[in-house]
Structure formats: structure tokens, C-alpha cells
Amino acid sequence: MTHITSLALNFEPRACRAIGTGVASGRTSHRGFIVVSALIFATSAVLTLVRWGPMSAMPGMRMTGGWTMSMAWMRMPGQTWPAAAASFAVMWTVMMIAMMLPSLAPTLWRYREAICRARETRPGWLTALVGVGYFMVWALFGLAVYPLGIALAAVEMRHQALAGAVPMAAGVLVLMAGAFQFASWKAHHLACCRQAPGRGRTLPEDAAMAWGLGLRLGLHCICGCAGLTAILLVVGIMDWGAMAVITAAITAERLAPAGYRVARAIGVIAAGAGLFLIARAAGLA
């Protein structure tokens, strides 16, 4: 995260000069922001590939019911539980940067432009703080998810009957995640994520307020993405196809002009997938 902050600071002077020196300088600032965002995205994607790649290639543990337990919920040989939790939290955060940055970057850019119009002299620093606060929330969420995943995996390994019910339970959870896309809770948090920074409120112009804005954005994102995140955890946290589909879905509902309609369309698709998984678990498909 410190690296992200330092990268953003390199472009700080150009951003404010863009307000006062015209189109050419504005284009330079815009290109700088795009380059930094692209570098962060590429780095996080590569790190995710390097870390999860070898683990996803492992066969995993075949469970009653014909499903395979993800290696994400298992320790590596010789690894302690604290070390395993720390490793998971780091790679979870890196993965979230790769998945969420495409939808977050436009929000950060609008925030940067707005504080420049307010003649703030530290746009790079404040924008970086918003981003770091946002991903800090996701990191804490990962720390909360890991022990729950470990506990559930342990129970499933001890009780074959429970393990055999996992495919059906997965289908039900995916169906519920699809229904969640239509909920007013989802619509509220999606609206907060889609709102342009500075619209109808005073922009944070100091470090503490910028950090708080990042935390609020992260909380709204986690709440709004609860269904889609659940699908990722159920389908397979190390499944590249699932990561790509969930990333595309989150980006579309955040950035598309008709974002609410997109969210509902995603809900229909997810509900259909859930029904298929239920039918397959019941031996009907």
C-alpha cells in the first residue's frame, strides 16, 4: 500500500496544474493517473496469478458429494495457522485490488478532479489515502472470512453427511445471491458506490477525512457486493473464470449508465445458475 501512495504522489503537482494551465496539462495528468492505475492493476493481477496459480493447480481434497475442497482453506506443509492467515489476508487483498480497481478507478479520478477544482494542493496524496482506506476494509473482511472458512472446512472434513450436502447448499446460496441483486439493501449501497464524489456533500480536504471516505466506500462496496462475493467464495476463490466473471459483473453494475438494470440482469443470471446447481445436486441435471 505504501508503494501505491508513493506512485500517486509522483503525479501530484501535475494534477493541480491541470486546473490552471489548460488542456495540455490536463491531458498529462489524465495520462499519469491512467498509467499509475494500470500499473497497480497489472501488478496485483500478476501477484494473484503467481500466488494462486500453483495452489489452483493442486488437486485439492475430494469430498463426499463429488466436490473438491479449495486449497485456500488448507495450510501448506510446515506452515503455522498465523502464517497461513497472514498469507491469505495479503493475497486476498491483492486479489481484491485486481478485481475492484477497474470499478474504483473512475471514482478516484472524479474525486481527484473535484479536490483540484477546490484548489487542494495535495490531490495525489489524498486520492491515495481514499484508495488505501477502501482496500483496508477489504483486507479486514478477508481476515474475518478466513477463520470462518477454516472452521467450516474442518466441520465438513469431520462429518461426511454435512460434506455431502455442500453441493445443494452451494446452489441455494448462489440462488440467494441472485435474489439479493433485487433487494433494496443492494440498491442503496450500489447507489452510494455509483455516486460521484463531491455531489451533494463537502469533499474531504484533509488526510483524516480522505481516509474516512475510503473506509465508507469500502463498506458500501462490501455490502453492495455481498451476493457476488458469496458466489466467488462458493464457486471457488481460486477459480480464474469465477474471478473474471465477478469482476466484470461488479464493474458493469458500477459503471454502466443503467447500472440498476445491469444489477438485476446479473441477479437473473445468478438465480438461474443457482437453480441449475440445485438441480444437478439433486440428480436432475
For the stretch 51-102, pLDDT in tens is 766 665 555 566 565 666 666 777 777 778 888 888 888 889 999 999 999 9
Q: Please indicate, yes or no, whether the overall pTM of this predicted structure exceeds 0.85.
A: no
pLDDT value for 205: 64
How many alpha carbons lie under 13 Å from residue 10 in its C-beta half-sphere?
A: 12
Distance of CA 65 to the CA centre of its chain: 30
Please choose, from the candidates 79, 81, 61, the residue with its C-alpha nearest in 3D space to the C-alpha of residue 70: 61
Which CA distances in Å does 167 have to 40, 260, 275? 36, 30, 12
pLDDT value for 222: 96
Name which residue leads in pLDDT, 3 or 174: 174
69 backbone dihedrals φ, ψ, rounded to 5° = -75, 135
pLDDT digits (tens, 9 = 90+) for 123-164: 778 889 999 999 999 999 999 999 988 888 888 778 777 778
Q: How many C-beta atoms surround the C-beta of residue 245 within 10 A?
A: 17
pLDDT value for 81: 81
pLDDT value for 13: 40
Confidence of residue 112 (pLDDT cuts 50, 70, 90): confident
Statement: residue 165 has pLDDT above 70: yes
pLDDT value for 51: 73
pLDDT value for 254: 94
